[in-house]
């Protein structure tokens, strides 16, 4: 069966997350419904990452096996037609080899967390967390440096996280400001449940001045969930890209 790699964008606000659940509608469910309308049979979609309730994506990746060898642009356009009016869009569809797996072939995942640092409420910006207190970005970066590298991230994962090991290698965690907008970018091969939001919430505590950068190092060393700062809300988190080895991206 021909396998297709889908790159997907979505507003996570109305969904319970990527993965199908009994408690509400999921992004995966919306895509599978659209594919069934397109091809006429139930079709499973396999995603690169299980984004949580309310988390957005501009570069989620999934793979799907179809019974017919469709043109890639036909798959993209037909699925998008059946997705309306869901806030989900297939940005691209590519034919890939049978060995491509959206989750297991991934080499890196990249997240962006958006903060608007101002007191007035947000009238237009939906995918951002408004923090009214002034934030010290230099202090946040000093704190973030303690988290980069390979560590036991027990402190920064949800209590219900199902990962077998809390060990992860964080390749990037940095904070930048442009006016009132602050961006936190995180990259790793894989993340624990709630890890990015837990780290961002803790960095904001540093930015406000409630924590010092050294307190983040102590929290990491504690390997205890209660040592974590508040978890940042889902509204500001976006999965922006998933990286794969070049030979796995597309068949010639």
Answer yes or no: do 168 and 227 share one domain. Answer: yes
The CA distance from 163 to 165, in Å, is 6
94 lies in a domain? yes
Answer yes or no: do 219 and 138 share one domain. Answer: yes
249 lies in a domain? no
pLDDT value for 247:
54
Closest by CA position to 119, among listed 137, 140, 134:
134
Answer yes or no: do 115 and 189 share one domain. Answer: yes
250 lies in a domain? no
251 lies in a domain? no
Q: Is the dihedral of CA 84, 88, 90, 96 positive or negative?
A: negative
The C-alpha torsion from 246 through 250 and 251 to 252, rounded to 10°, is -80
Q: Which residues of the chain have pLDDT under 50?
A: 248-252
- Tell me which residues are annotated as active site: 52
125 lies in a domain? yes
Task: Say which CATH number the domain at 13 has.
Answer: 3.30.70.580
Answer yes or no: do 74 and 153 share one domain. Answer: no
The domain boundary, picked from 104, 127, 157, lies at: 104
DSSP, res 4: E
Answer yes or no: do 139 and 89 share one domain. Answer: no
Give the tens place of pLDDT for each residue, 77-108.
999 999 999 999 999 999 999 999 999 999 99
pLDDT value for 169:
98
pLDDT value for 84:
96
Closest by CA position to 75, among listed 54, 51, 96, 99:
96
246 lies in a domain? no
11 lies in a domain? yes
pLDDT value for 252:
29
pLDDT value for 249:
42
| H or E stretch covering 221 | helix 213-222
Answer yes or no: do 94 and 212 share one domain. Answer: no
Tell me the residue range of the domain where 31 lies.
Answer: 3-104
């Amino acid at each position: 069966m021909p396998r297709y790699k889908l790159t997907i964008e979505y507003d996570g606000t109305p969904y319970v997350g990527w993965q199908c659940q009994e408690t509400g509608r999921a992004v995966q469910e919306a895509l599978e419904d659209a594919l069934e309308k397109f091809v006429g049979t139930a079709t499973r979609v396999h995603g690169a990452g299980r984004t949580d309730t309310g988390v957005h994506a501009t570069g989620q990746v999934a793979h799907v096996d179809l019974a017919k060898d469709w043109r890639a642009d036909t798959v993209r356009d037909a699925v998008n037609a059946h997705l309306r009016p869901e806030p989900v869009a297939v940005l691209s569809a590519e034919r890939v080899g049978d060995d491509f797996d959206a989750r297991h072939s991934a080499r890196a995942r990249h997240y962006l967390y958006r903060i608007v640092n101002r007191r007035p409420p947000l009238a237009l910006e939906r995918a951002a967390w408004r923090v009214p207190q002034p934030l010290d970005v230099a202090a946040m970066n000093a704190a973030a440096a303690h988290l980069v590298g390979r560590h036991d991230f027990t402190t920064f994962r949800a209590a219900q996280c199902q990962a077998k090991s809390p060990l992860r290698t964080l390749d990037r965690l940095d904070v930048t400001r442009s006016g009132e907008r602050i961006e936190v970018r995180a990259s790793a091969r894989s993340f624990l449940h709630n890890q990015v939001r837990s780290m961002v919430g803790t960095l904001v505590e540093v930015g406000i001045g409630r924590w010092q950068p050294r307190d983040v190092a102590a929290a990491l060393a504690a390997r205890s969930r209660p040592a974590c700062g508040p978890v940042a809300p889902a509204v500001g988190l976006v999965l922006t890209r998933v990286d794969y080895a070049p030979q796995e991206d597309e068949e010639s």
